Amino acid sequence: MKSQFFVVLMAVLLAGGVCSAQSQTIVIEDFKPSTLNQPGKEYPMVNSQGYARFRIEAPLAQSVIVGLGGRGGTQLTKGPDSVWVGTTAGPLDEGFHYYHLTIDGGVFNDPGTLNFYGSTRWESGIEIPAHDQDFYALRDVPHGFVQQILFPSPSTNTSRRAFVYTPPGYGKDGNKRYPVLYLQHGWGEDETAWSNQGRANLIMDNLIADGKIEPFIIVMTYGMTNEIRFGGLRNFDIKPFQTVLVDELIPYIDSHFNTLADQPHRAMAGLSMGGMETKTITLNKPEVFSHYALLSGGTYAPADIKDMSKVKLIFLSCGSKERPEGVKNAAVALKEVGINAVSYVSEGTAHEFLTWRRSLYELAPLLFKD
Amino acid sequence: MKSQFFVVLMAVLLAGGVCSAQSQTIVIEDFKPSTLNQPGKEYPMVNSQGYARFRIEAPLAQSVIVGLGGRGGTQLTKGPDSVWVGTTAGPLDEGFHYYHLTIDGGVFNDPGTLNFYGSTRWESGIEIPAHDQDFYALRDVPHGFVQQILFPSPSTNTSRRAFVYTPPGYGKDGNKRYPVLYLQHGWGEDETAWSNQGRANLIMDNLIADGKIEPFIIVMTYGMTNEIRFGGLRNFDIKPFQTVLVDELIPYIDSHFNTLADQPHRAMAGLSMGGMETKTITLNKPEVFSHYALLSGGTYAPADIKDMSKVKLIFLSCGSKERPEGVKNAAVALKEVGINAVSYVSEGTAHEFLTWRRSLYELAPLLFKD
C-alpha cells in the first residue's frame, strides 16, 4: 500500500518534518470529479498528478477492489462510515481508462461514472486529463452531428447499426459531396467506442474549426470482432464483416449520404484488432479504399501491396509504451519502395484510447490530399 | 394477481387434473434472455408469463436484492455454486422496467443487462415482451436516423446535446420540409430516454412504413428536470429550460434541419414531469406550439387556454393503472368548449415506458393534420 506511505510522508512534511534524500512521491490533495462521472457524482476523483481515488458504498461487503492502478488493482479499505475508499498506488497514464469493481468476488461497475463498451461488456470509465486535451475538448465551435443509422444487412439477416459523423454544414449545400473514412474499434468494443471514449466527433469539429482539415464523413460500425470470444483469434474469419462493410454498408452510405463514392475518396482505419481488419480488407479490396491506417494494429510490409498506384497513404501508429520501433521501421520500409507512409508515436501512452485519439488527430490532416 | 389464476387454471386443464379451491401459481419454465441483455449474456431472463429471473455472481456477498418485483424487491438466494439466483414473486407488467441490485447494502447495476438513464442515474433495464410489441419492434422497413447534435446555448454557457429523429428519406429532396415534435422525458431521465427505452425512432419507422402517418421530425433534449433533486418540485423554475428550448434549440433546429418553421407545424409533448414542462411552456408560448400532449403528465383545463384558435390538438394519456378517469374527464371538458382534445388509456400499464411508447404511437397519427 504505497499510497499510505505517501499520505504519511505528506503529513510529516505538512507538520514541518524533514525530507530525506530518497525520492518519495507526495500525493497532492487537489482531487476533482472525473469528467466522465454521472451527473451529480463526486467520485471517482482524479488529482493533478493523475492519481485516481474511489469511494464505494457497500457497507456489508467484505472486499472491494478497483480493477485499475497496477497489477492486482486498487484494494479499497472500509472507513469508519462503512464506505470503501482508496487511491491508486501511483499516477495513471493520461487519457481514458476502462475499469470495473470486484465486490465480494463479483464484477460490477462503479455507480459513480459512465459506462463504455469494452472487454465485450459495458465497463466503467475514468479520464485522466491529458496535457494536450484541448484537441478533443468540447469547444465553442460549430459541431457536426453523430447519426445513428440502421442499415439493412441481408448477409446477417438483420438491420445493423452504424454511427455516421457528418461535419458542420453538411447538407446545407445539397451539391457538396464528402470523402468518407470507415473507422473501426478494437476487440471487446463496438460501434459506440469511437464517439464515446474516442471523441472522434469533437476531434473532427476542432480540426475543422481550426482550418486544419477539409471536412469529411466518418462511418463507424460494429466489426464483429467479439464473435471470437469463444473461438480464439486464429478462428477469426474476415469474410462476414468484409461482406457487411463492403457489400452492404458502403453502398448504403453512398446512397443515403452526400459522399464522393469512389476509391480515391474512401479510407479505412482501425485500432488494435480493427487494424487487423483494416489491413486484411484493404489488401483484399484495393479497388475500394485508397487510404489505410492501423492504430496500434500492426503494420504493412512492402510485399503486401500488390498495386502501389492504388495506395495513396499508409498511416501506422501506436503509443510509446507499445512497440514504436515496429511502426517506425515499417513506415521507413514502405517509403523506401515509394509508398506514401507515415508513422506516428503517441508519447507516454500505451494500448489505450489517448493513443488512438491522438492518432486520429494526426491522421485526419493527411487524408484525401490530391 | 388475476393472471396467476389463469395460469393455474390453464395448467390444471392441460394436466386434466382437478382444480382445488386453493390458488397456486405454476411458473412455466420457458425463460429466455431479456431482449435488453448485453451481448452474449443469458441473464436476466423472462418467461412467457412475465416472471423475471436473475443470476448474479458475487460469491462472498451476504445479501443480493433485485429492486423489482413488488415491495422489497426480489431477494436472491445463494446456490451451491455460490451464485445468487431468484425469480420475481409474480409476473411483471408488460414493457420496460428500470431496476438495480442492492449488494451488501450498496446499489449497483446488473452486469447482464444494458443501462438506461432513469432516477438520475444509469440503471439496469429489463423488457417484458408486450402482446402488441410489433409496433415498437425493429422491423425490416426503411429506418430514419437518430442524430446527436450539440447546439450552442448562451444562456447556460455551454454546448447542449439533443437527439433528432429524421424520417426515412429525409434530405433526399432538399426542398421537402417537415413538421417537428419536441418530445420530453420525465424526471430522473434525460435526452437519451425516448430513443433508448422509448424506442421512439422504431415507432416512427413502423408508423411511416405502414402508411399511418406523414413523416415528421422529433427533437429530444434534456429538460433540466433533475436539477430539482436537491430543491424539491415546488422550487422548479421553468424559465431556464424554456429559454434553452424556445430561444436556443428551436432556432438551431430550424436553421440546421429542413423544418416547417412555424407554429402550425410545431408540437410539444412530454411524459410525467416532461408533461408538466409541456403544459407550462405551451401555455406560456401559444405562438410557438400548436399541438400539445401530456403523457402521464397531468391535464389542461378549459380555463388554461387563452386563445382556442391557436390550439390544434390536446392529447392526454396515461396507463390504466394510473388515474385514467382524470385524462378522460379532462378531454371531455376540453371538447365541450370546442377544443380538439383526445384521451388515450394504455391498458394494463402503470407509470412506465410501455404507457408512453403506446401514447406516442396513438399521438403521432393525430399530429399536424390540416
Helices B353-363 and B200-209 meet at what angle, rounded to 10? Answer: 30
Cell of residue B266, nine digits:
410545431
Among residues A129, A159, A189, the one where a domain terminates is: A129
Mean pLDDT of chain B: 92
CATH number (domain holding residue A52):
2.60.40.10
Query: Is the distance from CB of A264 to CB of A222 less than 8 angstroms?
Result: no
CA distance B73 to chain A (A): 18
Instruction: Collapse the DSSP code of A171 into the 3-class scheme (helix H, G, I; strand E, B; otherwise coil) and give the result.
Output: coil
Same domain, B158 and B67: no
Whether residue B241 is found in the same domain as residue B150: yes
CATH number at A346 reads: 3.40.50.1820
Q: Identify whether B11 is part of a domain.
A: no
Same domain for B121 and B184, yes or no, is no
What is the domain extent for residue B103?
Answer: 32-129
Asked if pLDDT for residue B6 goes beyond 60, the answer is no
- Identify whether residues B187 and B149 lie together within a single domain: yes
A113 and A244 in a single domain? The answer is no
Same domain, A171 and A104: no
* B352 inside domain: yes
Say if CB A41 and CB A61 are below 8 A apart: no
Whether residues A61 and B105 touch (CB distance < 8 A) is answered with: yes
**A321 CB-near residues (< 8 Å, 6+ apart):** A93, A348, A349, A350, A351
Give the model's pLDDT for residue B72: 85
pLDDT for res B300: 98
Three-state secondary structure call for residue A246: helix
**Helices A200-209 and A353-363: crossing angle, nearest 10°?**
30
B57 pLDDT more than 80: yes
Do the chains contact at A57 and B148, CB–CB below 8 Å?
A: no
From first to last of the 370 residues of chain A, give the pLDDT tens digit: 333 333 333 333 333 333 334 456 899 999 999 999 999 999 999 999 999 999 999 999 999 999 998 788 999 999 999 899 999 999 999 999 999 999 999 999 999 999 999 999 999 999 999 999 999 999 999 999 999 999 999 999 999 999 999 999 998 887 899 999 999 999 999 999 999 999 999 999 999 999 999 999 999 999 998 876 555 666 789 999 999 999 999 999 999 999 999 999 999 999 999 999 999 999 999 999 999 999 999 999 999 999 999 999 999 999 999 999 999 999 999 999 999 999 999 999 999 999 999 999 999 999 998 6
Closest chain B residue to the Cα of A146, Cα to Cα: B148
How many of the other CB atoms lie within 10 Å of CB of B229? Answer: 12
Residue ending a domain, choose from A129, A147, A174: A129
Asked if residue B13 is part of any domain, the answer here is: no
The reply to whether A103 falls in a domain is yes
Query: Which residues from B are below 8 Å from A145, CB to CB?
Result: 147-149, 164
**Within this chain, do residues B177 and B325 fall inside the same structural domain, yes or no?**
yes
Whether the CB-CB separation of A47 and A86 falls below 8 Å is answered with no
Domain boundary among A129, A160, A187: A129
A188 and A141 assigned to the same domain? yes
Alpha-carbon distance of B168 to B209, in angstroms, equals: 9
> pLDDT-derived band of residue B174, with 50, 70 and 90 as boundaries?
confident
Residues A182, A316 share a domain = yes
Count CA within 13 A, CB hemisphere, residue A96.
Answer: 27
B125 with B97, same domain: the answer is: yes
Do the domain assignments include residue B105? Answer: yes
A116 within domain boundaries = yes
Sole residue written with cell 422509448: B198
Give the pTM.
Answer: 0.91
**Prediction ipTM score:** 0.90
**Closest approach of B22 to chain A, Cα-based (Å):** 40
Tens-digit pLDDT profile for residues B252-297? 999 999 999 999 999 999 999 999 999 999 999 999 999 999 999 9
Model confidence at B232: pLDDT above 70: no
Q: Is residue B70 part of a domain?
A: yes
Same domain, B256 and B278: yes
pLDDT at B103: 97
Total number of domains in chain B:
2
Q: Report which of residues B310 and A17 the model is more confident about.
A: B310
Contact check, Cβ <8 Å, B109/A108: yes
Is B275 within the bounds of a domain?
yes
Instruction: Verify that A60 and A190 share a domain, yes or no.
Output: no
